[in-house]
Amino acid sequence: MTEYNKMAKGSFTSTGSAQIINLPFLPGYVEMINYASVATPANHGIPYAQWSSLMGQGFATAMLFNATPVLTTGVVTSNGISTFMAGELFQYGPVYQHTGSTDFSISAAATAEITTTSAHGLVTGNVVIFQNLYETTTTGMPQIAGIPFEVTVIDSTHFTIPWNTSGSNYTAFNTATSIGNIGSFKQVLYPYLYSPGVNVISSITTGTTTTVVTTDANSFVVGQEVAFRIPTVWGTYQLNSLPDTLIPGSPIYGYVISVTPSTNTVVVNINSTGYTAFNVNQPVNSVPGLTFPQILAVGDVNTGGNQISSGSMLYPPPQVNGFNTINGPAILGSYVNNTSMGFIIGSGSTVSDASSVLVGSAGNVIYWRAFAHDISLP
């Protein structure tokens, strides 16, 4: 029977790291072709691989070349192909914290840099959250705990976050020397569940227009109407939508006039000349109850003023950070729900050849097909 089967196909250029594929359904069978490996047979190459949900998560069967090179077979038993389904709340990866000789530190610098003693396993664009960043009972960096940060990876043991920790109220943090060896971070696996999202602000430049940098990717577009929630202690509180001193009860909103996604930068048409300077140098003793400064879209789907109808850029489904969501046409006045699902092609090696990488080498083009069958028999 095929009445309710779902099928999808696509391709991507491998980075050598695990690849996430978003789909409008949860597949039960996945197959892939590495075009470069088929075109140029070489030792360790995996030209074909398959996975069935009946195998279990992280498994796969593969065809691979030996040194001759002659095509043979093998299986992947971990970090192979698996499915995922994001919920309505954040889901997290493993916790990185002090365990034996495994530690990490955060520098007090204009752009905070994190150094780990073991491979952090992150790639640029991943989002992480820190917790328990007290170096002593009165020092450290607990001011940034709980903020979602998009990371920029330097190498396997170094990455940066978009936050200035050079202020006098920040002290370099190290889990190896912190009180009780506390401190941890973990990856947010599916950070963009709704669009437009609510973003924490890391810097504001005032002037005839206002430039805002957010700690992780925002989904704003030119024409988007936005509001601010900035507690007084952070400065630039004059941007807040309420209260409106001229028209009580009428909120003040701004409009996005420029977006630079690569730097999470958005420019708003609010003249903030003379406003209080933005200040991330918050004291440690303010942390209990500290609320972060935020920029958010005002109610509507992220249309930038574009109508949602057949032939418009939001029909078929809207995208969130480059990925199609599972929704049909969005409705003005609502948020886009990006409760993601799909599958992941991991970097697992075959049992028979530990040097063969399922996802291929950086630059390889991978073609895939995914299926959700209406009947699955044991």
72 and 158 in a single domain? The answer is no
Q: Which has the minimum average pLDDT: 212-216, 250-254, 329-333, 369-373? A: 329-333
Among 145-154, 286-295, 328-337, where is mean pLDDT lowest? 328-337
Last residue of a domain, one of 160, 188, 216: 188
CA-to-CA distance for 228 and 242, rounded, in angstroms?
Answer: 9
pLDDT digit string, tens, across residues 195-233: 667 899 999 999 999 999 999 998 888 877 889 999 999
> pLDDT over 70 for what percent of the chain?
85
Task: Give the domain-ending residue among 297, 325, 356.
Answer: 297
Kindly state whether residues 76 and 98 are assigned to the same domain.
no
* C-alpha–C-alpha distance, residues 30 and 49, integer Å: 8
Residue 306 lies inside a defined structural domain of this protein = no
- Tally the domains of the chain: 3
pTM assigned to the model? 0.71
Tokens representing residue 26 in the block: 């949860």
| Structural domain contains residue 328 | no
For residue 138, is it within any domain?
A: yes
Domain match, 150 and 212 both? no
Residue 37 lies in a domain: yes
Give the containing element (helix H, strand E) for 255: strand 254-260
For 373, the token pair is 């069958």
Owning domain of residue 115: 92-188
Which of the listed residues 139, 172, 188 is the one where a domain comes to its end? 188
Q: In this structure, are 254 and 212 located in the same domain?
A: yes
Is 319 within the bounds of a domain? no
Same domain, 97 and 66: no
DSSP letter, residue 238: G
Least confident among 182-186, 297-301, 343-347: 297-301
Residues 33 and 100 in one domain: no
333, pLDDT greater than 50: no
Residues 287, 359 within the same domain: no
Residue at 176 is within a domain: yes
What per-residue confidence (pLDDT) applies to 326? 52
Tell me the C-alpha distance between 101 and 176, whole Å: 8
Flag the least confident range among 79-88, 318-327, 366-375: 318-327
Decide: 348 and 79 in contact? Cβ < 8 Å. yes
Same domain, 277 and 257: yes
311's tokens: 């032939």
Encoding tokens for residue 280? 């991330």
**What's the CATH code of the domain at 123?**
2.40.30.180
Sequence-ordered list of residues with C-beta below 8 angstroms from that of 117, at least 6 positions apart, any chain: 101, 102, 103, 104, 157
Nearest-angstrom CA–CA distance, 100 and 12: 39
Beta bridge partners of 34: 366
Are the C-beta atoms of 342 and 84 separated by less than 8 Å? Answer: yes
Neighbours of 355 (CB within 10 A): 9
Q: Report how far residue 253's alpha carbon sits from residue 245's, in angstroms, rounded to the nearest whole number.
A: 13
Contact 75, 59 (CB under 8 A): yes
